[in-house]
Amino acid sequence: MELDRLWHKGREFLGVRYPIICGAMTWISDSRLVADVSAEGAFASLAAGNLEPEALRREIEQTRSATDRPFAVNLITIAPRYREHLRLVAEMEIPVVIFAGSFPRAAEIAMVKKAGGKAVCFASSESIARRMIRFGADALILEGSEAGGHIGHVSLIILIQQILFHVDQVPIFVAGGIASGRLIAHLLLMGAAGVQLGTRFVLSRECRVHPAFKEAFVRARARDAVASPAVSSDLHVVPVRAIRNRGTEEFADLQVDLLMRRRRGEISQSEAQHRVEEYWMGALRRAVQDGDVEHGSLMAGQSVGLAHGIQPLGEIVSELISDAGEELDRIHRKLCSLDDTKTGGR
């Protein structure tokens, strides 16, 4: 099967049947969702978020009890408990660690590799991609600004041309705005080892979020998923893409308050940054667990406009795979047709 050949590198790296990654979503990607995704032959990341270290330990242990298939733990490098999380995943010898939020130091990547794990890093430019590889990254994820949650400033279409077309030392997975198997086929042809989706998996029947959270996704259009406003560069706020609601406005107000307190010397830069991250994690929790879709954070990618209903996980994965295979067949037929035209049908 052509699809198997195209994503062979991704399958080998992740150790799964389908190199389709369910991206880590704080308060959403728990041990149960990871096990459910794994059961369908895909790959999932357990979201560390800002969990208490012992809570994260329990989630890892529960995941290992629920599935014997490979999975990753996603660490947010700008989360207040990041250092504790990093020590924990090294201690527990997690096979794949995905660094998100910002870019890890070489020593942090080395901790994972020394414990026998593979380190996966995000890259937002060719220079950062090469730096992460130099630091020891075993694979990269290119996530376009179309994605949900913490995002960079560059769209996936640019990252593909900037990095995927020029960097081939390690497997490269792509993310941001992906919701269909047809697009997956084209990304594989361009050199991707696999893909990462988040928003589409939120709308799986198995995803245990508040019904109001899912309903907000079903109703949303692509243009409703907006990047959070940055009031000032002094706060170094990492943009977050979420469905627009009152919480979006409240985050702007929070930034103004933190900025003024920072300028008065009442809080440090790191304290302000932590307050920002705590806000997002708390707001996301209120939306995911309590159903506060008005003031909570509805983190979603622009692909929310392409996913119109709730489906079983198995159906989502099967649809992605069958549509990708059919698209490859369609491309093959089109190329053969063009070849016939050139040769006059001979």
Say which residue, 328 or 228, is predicted with more confidence.
328
- State the residue for tokens 């041309």: 161
pLDDT at 343: 64
| pLDDT at residue 136 greater than cutoff 90 | yes
What one-character DSSP code corresponds to residue 311? Answer: B
Whether residue 296 contacts residue 287, with contact meaning beta carbons closer than 8 Å, is answered with: yes
User: How many Å from the N-terminal Cα to the C-terminal Cα in the chain?
Assistant: 27
- What CATH number is given for 2-208+314-333 in this structure? 3.20.20.70
| pLDDT at residue 239 greater than cutoff 80 | yes
Q: Which amino acid is at 94?
A: I
pLDDT at 346: 53
Task: For residue range 62-78, list pLDDT tens digits in order.
Answer: 999 999 999 999 999 98
Q: Which amino acid is at 5?
A: R
For the chain, the average pLDDT equals: 93
| pLDDT at residue 345 greater than cutoff 70 | no
Q: Which amino acid is at 330?
A: R
| Angstrom distance (rounded) from CA 346 to CA 341 | 9
Whether residue 131 contacts residue 114, with contact meaning beta carbons closer than 8 Å, is answered with: no
The CATH 3.20.20.70 domain(s) of the chain lie at 2-208+314-333
- State the residue for tokens 């414990």: 115
Which tokens hold the place of 72? 């990753």
Say which residue, 238 or 133, is predicted with more confidence.
133
What distances in angstroms separate CA 177 from CA 7, 235, 280, 335, 343, one per listed residue?
Answer: 19, 27, 21, 27, 39
Between helix 313-343 and helix 181-189 the angle, nearest 10°, is 50
Percent of the chain with pLDDT over 70: 98
CB atoms within 10 A of CB 116: 10
| Angstrom distance (rounded) from CA 24 to CA 277 | 16
Whether residue 116 contacts residue 269, with contact meaning beta carbons closer than 8 Å, is answered with: no
Q: What is the DSSP string of 159-170?
A: HIIIIITT--SS
Report which of 91, 1, 10, 77 is spatially closest to residue 43, judged by C-alpha positions.
10
Confidence band (pLDDT; 50, 70, 90) for 152? confident
pLDDT at 156: 96
Q: How far is CA 97 from the centre of its chain?
A: 13
Percent of the chain with pLDDT over 90: 77
| Mean local confidence (pLDDT), 140-165 | 94
Task: For residue range 264-298, list pLDDT tens digits in order.
Answer: 999 988 888 778 878 888 899 999 999 999 999 99
Q: What is the DSSP string of 82-151?
A: HHHHHHHHHHTT-SEEEEESS---HHHHHHHHHTT-EEEEE-SSHHHHHHHHHHT-SEEEEE-TTSSEE-
Confidence band (pLDDT; 50, 70, 90) for 342? low
Report which of 220, 225, 217, 219 is spatially closest to residue 244, judged by C-alpha positions.
225
Strands annotated E in the chain: 20-22, 43-47, 72-76, 96-100, 118-122, 139-143, 149-150, 172-175, 194-197, 225-227, 240-243
Give residues with Cβ within 8 angstroms of 122, minimum separation 6: 99, 100, 103, 140, 141, 142, 143, 152
pLDDT at 225: 96
